[in-house]
């Protein structure tokens, strides 16, 4: 008695089945392991099967074990986005053969596919049993090319001041002064003159670096007037170069030209404004007056001058003395 004639195949794909057929008999008992699962002449599902067949004479026999394999459902997986200037590697779940599609167009036959364009990607995977499955559509997004820019005021900043530099939109930032990183916020306050760049990273992790923005600082202004004069004279005070000027004695403004003719003693300052609108005030210069006095010619060098030969001067002339014989 030959109780079991299995179907030609012993494996089946997910969603399918295989029919097991016993040899002719009067009654049948199907077992999956030691569990009775059916009493008909055929049975379908995965497992390790035997069948007990009883004929019309009441004779029984049990078949050898036949293992029926069912293929598990294939579930290809892969990531979702890439930067415009790059690509992303899509990886399928394990299989024997592969077909990658962008929409309905086949684009690859390996277990991985490098996507450098955006689209809706699927992969058909075939395993060793010949079972096939197609993944769900995965939309791959390409990020728009980043072109970071720096917004800065048109005019340079004045000595002792600063200027705020602002990057274009992003998620993360790295500011550089030359090659030195100086900040990580969306804006940076520059208080030194140099060439600045910013690296901007967006939500997809794409990075790009801006062009160099040169920030100019105005040179410190250093007005320089003179120091003293004689009673009957005056002294010309001259400022360093600028666009406009304000001269002061103490807190009183006395002039607005590049130079000022001072004829009185006092503390002088000048406020200079340059073409950038930067202002600076000079240090105080104290102008003093020297009184005029009579000096007498000392022709015989005896230290006593000639009363008939005198002149007025703030400073002792050569060959003159301060006293004379009366």
- Token pair, residue 243, equals 């666009």
Among 18, 44, 70, the domain boundary falls at 70
Q: 260 and 233 in one domain? A: yes
Residue-wise pLDDT for 69-94, tens only, equals 554 444 545 556 777 767 788 888 88
Which residue among 109, 143, 177 closes a domain?
143
How far apart CA 290 and CA 310 sit, in angstroms, is: 18
CA 154, chain centre distance (Å): 23
The answer as to whether 223 is a domain residue is no
3-state helix, strand, coil in the chain (%, to 5): 0, 50, 50
Closest CA to 7 of 16, 18, 17, 15: 18
> 23 CB contacts (<8 Å, ≥6 apart)?
1, 2, 3, 4, 5, 53
Torsion of CA 76, 81, 82, 84, to 10 degrees: 130
Mark whether 283 and 297 lie in a shared domain.
no
* pLDDT tens per residue, range 241-257: 888 999 999 999 999 99
State which residues form the domain around 24: 4-70
Would 121 be classed as within a structural domain?
yes
Where residue 256 falls (left for φ over 0; alpha for ψ -120 to 50; beta otherwise) is: alpha
Looking at the structure of the chain, the number of domains it has is 5
Question: What's the pLDDT tens digit per position in 16-71?
Answer: 666 667 777 777 777 777 777 776 766 556 566 677 777 777 777 777 766 555 54
268 neighbors 225 (Cβ within 8 angstroms): yes
Same domain, 8 and 60: yes
pTM, two decimals, is: 0.44
Q: Convert the pLDDT of each residue in 193-230 to its tens digit.
A: 788 999 998 887 788 899 988 876 664 545 454 466 67
Q: Is residue 182 part of a domain?
A: yes
Residue 273 near residue 242 (C-beta atoms within 8 A): yes
Q: Establish if 75 belongs to a structural domain.
A: no
Q: Is residue 156 located within the same domain as residue 182?
A: yes
pLDDT digits (tens, 9 = 90+) for 268-305: 888 888 876 777 788 888 887 777 788 888 888 888 88
């Amino acid at each position: 008695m030959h109780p079991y004639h299995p179907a030609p195949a012993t494996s089946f794909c997910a969603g399918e089945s295989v029919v097991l057929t016993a040899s002719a008999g009067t009654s049948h008992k199907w077992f999956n392991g030691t569990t009775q699962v059916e009493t008909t002449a055929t049975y379908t599902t995965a497992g390790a099967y035997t069948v007990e067949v009883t004929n019309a004479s009441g004779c029984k026999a049990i078949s050898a074990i036949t293992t029926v394999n069912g293929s598990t459902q294939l579930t290809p997986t892969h990531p979702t986005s890439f930067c415009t200037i790059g690509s992303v590697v899509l990886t399928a779940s394990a299989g024997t053969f592969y077909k990658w599609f962008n929409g309905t167009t086949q684009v690859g036959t390996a277990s991985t596919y490098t996507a450098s364009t955006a689209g809706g990607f699927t992969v058909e995977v075939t395993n060793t049993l010949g079972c096939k499955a197609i993944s769900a559509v995965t939309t791959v997004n390409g990020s728009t090319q980043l072109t970071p820019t720096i917004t800065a005021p048109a005019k340079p900043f004045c000595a002792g001041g600063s200027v705020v530099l602002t990057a274009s939109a992003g998620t993360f930032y790295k500011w550089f002064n030359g090659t030195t990183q100086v900040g990580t916020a969306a804006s940076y306050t520059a208080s030194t003159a140099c060439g600045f760049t910013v690296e901007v990273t967006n939500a997809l992790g794409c990075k790009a670096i801006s062009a160099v923005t040169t920030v100019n600082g105005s040179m410190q202004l250093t007005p320089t007037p003179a120091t003293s004069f004689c009673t009957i004279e005056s002294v010309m005070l001259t400022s360093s170069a600028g666009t406009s000027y304000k001269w002061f004695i103490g807190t009183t403004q006395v002039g607005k030209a590049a130079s000022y003719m001072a004829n009185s003693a006092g503390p002088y300052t000048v406020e200079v404004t340059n073409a950038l609108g930067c202002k600076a005030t000079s240090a105080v210069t104290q102008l003093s007056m020297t009184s005029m006095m009579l000096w007498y010619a000392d022709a015989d060098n005896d230290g006593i001058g000639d009363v008939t030969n005198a002149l007025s001067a703030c400073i002792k002339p050569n060959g003159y003395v301060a006293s004379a014989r009366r």
